[in-house]
Chain A
Amino acid sequence: MSDQIILLVEDSPDDVDLTMRALEKNNISNRIVVCPDGAVALDYLHGRGPDGVHYDNPLPQVVLLDLKLPKVDGLEVLKKVRAHKRTSLLPIVVLTSSKEEKDMVESYSLGANSYVRKPVSFEEFLEAVRQLGLYWLLLNQAPPLPDDE
């Protein structure tokens, strides 16, 4: 299980640290790849390196996606990920501060698999991360990897 990757798309270093801490506290020892903005996340997922070099990055078991991101925001990432053959079925959990109905509706209609609002209380956040780990890393059957293009 722990060779599976979790892709964390999050621009705030504070939030990255707290999420890492929450994963650690829940004994989730998977490799975490952190992308500080939407553009980096898309490059990782679609194997694009600088100068057009193609990298064969392993696909994550699940993507934890913040919505408010510099350069390419979370909704745009969702749209592009779903449009791309390699990642069209990739499990994506939107993990955001926003309680806006609009964000929720748009996330789901763009193909998010889940929408979780980050609670203010760290204890509640710990619990949310625990359940997310349990569900997406253990319980959920990930879709098969697409054939190589």
Chain B
Amino acid sequence: MAAKSRRRPGRARRNGAETARPAKTAKPRSPQREYADIFTHNPIPMWIFDLGSLRILAVNAAALRHYGYGEREFLGMTIKDIRSEEDAASLEHYMATARDTLNSAGLWRHRRKDGSTIDVEITSHTLHWRGHQARLVSANDITERLQAEARIRELNATLESQVRERTQQLESVNRELEAFSYSVSHDLRAPLRVIDGFSQALMEDYAGRLEGSGSKYLTRIRATTQRMGVLIDDLLTLARVSRRNVRRGDVDVSALAAEVVKELSEKEPAREVVTGIQSGMRAHADGGLVKIVLDNLIGNAWKFTSRTPAARIEVSTERYDGVIAFCVRDNGAGFDTQYTHKLFGAFQRLHAESEFTGTGIGLATVARVAALHGGRAWAEGETGKGAVFRFTLEEGRPDE
């Protein structure tokens, strides 16, 4: 297509005639002339100089163009005249030592007629030329290449220093975060303990003197205090998860899930929940983090089936995007699908505290753990019909 459109319509008609016509050449050139052309018309600047006097004996058109001299001018010079001043001394040393027949003489700085300096890569070799002991030089101008290289080096250095700077900033932010969660862990919990402790003391020691609502208020103070304690603990878990390096190993997910269920039923032995845990579920993941995810998801299922008769929780695997997804399914309260996007945000809650308690940090932690492993977490549900939460612990491979 491209070749056809490039052809000019006028010439197409004469196409056959053109090749048939004999070439209009002058008399055949001698082999010597042809060899001379290799020098004269070579696109690389070349010249020949006398090894004794250093006078230029011959020069090609590319050299004249590049250095800005006329032929007559160039032939009246020695090779010292095209050296930059800083290279002159090393030239003498070089001439004294380099007498071999062929070498790649390396990098030099040359001066053009207009005074500008260029970087050239010189290749030369010794030859007999019209009775002279001489040297044929080809000069490849690499000024632009060197400049580009210098620019790249400069850019790399800038980039490196930027990376160093950003890393330092990040490290200091991390340190601050660490100090922050440390002081949250210490300083924010301590007053809560005191509030709870003395409220309890009041209830015990002054029970007789507190009227009905008085002790109710104290009960509410204590409940709120403990809720804030849970909130702080959840926040700390989220912070700890975020700055943790994933340490992958072989994880028995089925065993972890069974452990979580056991802990939950020990805490609330009166609850009757039918649980089904698929056997043999394994993952190559960080066991501590997977435990946190299961604590949250199975804990949620446990919580949101608390008002469901014949409560059921299932933990199983499915295939999603070519990888294993772990599913925690319940037949509990479910959630309003129009708020699905809010589920995994920190502090987002879809149920009133009076219905189901919670801090709204658990699912944010789940999403964080999945993301740390390269996976994701998502949910499906319907009000009154239960919910399914799924998470993967590796990057999806949708093509497989």
Which A residues lie at the B interface, using CB under 8 A? 12, 14-15, 18, 21, 67-68, 96-101, 118-123, 125
| B-chain residues with CB within 8 Å of residue A21 when the two chains form the complex | 197, 201
Q: Establish whether residues A120 and B182, one from each chain, have CB atoms under 8 Å apart when the complex forms.
A: no
Of all A-B residue pairs in the complex, the 10 with the closest CB atoms, nearest first, are: A120-B229, A18-B197, A14-B194, A122-B200, A122-B197, A97-B189, A120-B192, A97-B186, A122-B196, A97-B190
Among B190-231, those with CB < 8 Å from A are 190, 192-194, 196-201, 222, 225-226, 228-229
| B-chain residues with CB within 8 Å of residue A101 when the two chains form the complex | 240
Please tell me if B251 contacts chain A, counting CB pairs below 8 Å: no
What DSSP secondary structure best describes chain B's contact surface?
Answer: helix
B: number of interface residues (CB 8 Å):
24
A-B pairs with beta carbons under 8 Å apart, 25 shown: A12-B190, A12-B194, A14-B194, A14-B197, A18-B194, A18-B198, A18-B201, A21-B201, A67-B186, A68-B186, A97-B186, A97-B189, A98-B182, A98-B185, A98-B186, A99-B185, A100-B182, A100-B185, A118-B193, A119-B193, A120-B196, A122-B201, A122-B222, A125-B193, A125-B197
Which B residues lie at the A interface, using CB under 8 A? 181-182, 185-187, 189-190, 192-194, 196-201, 222, 225-226, 228-229, 233, 236, 240
Task: Name which residue of chain A comes closest to B200, CB basis.
Answer: A122
Tally of A-B residue pairs with Cβ under 8 A? 60
Nearest CB in chain B: distance from A131 CB, A: 17
Q: In this complex, which of A15, A97, A100 has the most chain B Cβ atoms within 10 angstroms of its Cβ?
A: A97
Q: A99-B185, A99-B236 are in contact. Are A121 and B229 (CB under 8 A)?
A: yes
| B-chain residues with CB within 8 Å of residue A15 when the two chains form the complex | 190, 193-194
Nearest CB in chain B: distance from A14 CB, A: 4
Nearest CB in chain B: distance from A78 CB, A: 17
| A-chain residues with CB within 8 Å of residue B199 when the two chains form the complex | 122
Q: Establish whether residues A121 and B182, one from each chain, have CB atoms under 8 Å apart when the complex forms.
A: no
| B-chain residues with CB within 8 Å of residue A14 when the two chains form the complex | 194, 197-198
| CA A119 to CA B193, docked complex, whole Å | 7
Q: Establish whether residues B185 and A97, one from each chain, have CB atoms under 8 Å apart when the complex forms.
A: yes
Q: In this complex, which of A101, A118, A121 has the most chain B Cβ atoms within 10 angstroms of its Cβ?
A: A121
